Amino acid sequence: MAESKRLLLESTERARAIEQRLAGLDREIQGLRVQATAEMTAEHERLERQAEESVRKVFALAEQEMAAAAKAARLELKSYAASLAVELAEKKIAGQITPQVQRGLVGGFVRSLGR
């Protein structure tokens, strides 16, 4: 009988130790779940911030490229307008200078050199 009481106490003690370990495992598993959830949330937020920053960079680059393209277009337009103005002036002057006017201009220039 003493033997059976001792065996019963040992088995009860083992069962209590196992239950304590299981309870500890449940707490540990719950702790791991909480930690994993927190890490996933943090990673999700980090990825969102990174994506938002990437989008901002893309928009900034696009704005810079559009500004550069607009500036280049304005410069090209100014150059074209200047070219047209010179061409129009040449045609206007060529249409107004007759041989008689040309002789008068050349004669006036020659006289100014003689002074």
Predicted local confidence at residue 65, as pLDDT: 98
Using DSSP, state whether 115 is helix, strand or coil.
coil
In this predicted structure, the answer to whether residue 115 has a pLDDT above a threshold of 80 is: no
Q: How far apart are CA 7 and CA 1, in angstroms?
A: 10
Domains contained in the chain, number: 1
Residue of higher predicted confidence among 1 and 72: 72
Percent of the chain with pLDDT over 90: 53
Give the structural domain span for 64.
2-114
For 6, the enclosing helix (H) or strand (E) is: helix 2-96
For 27-66, letters b (16+ CB in 10 Å) and e give eeeeeeeeeeeeeeeeeeeeeeeeeeeeeeeeeeeeeeee
How confident is the model over 10-49, as pLDDT tens digits?
888 888 888 888 878 888 899 999 999 999 999 999 999 9
pTM score of the predicted model:
0.52
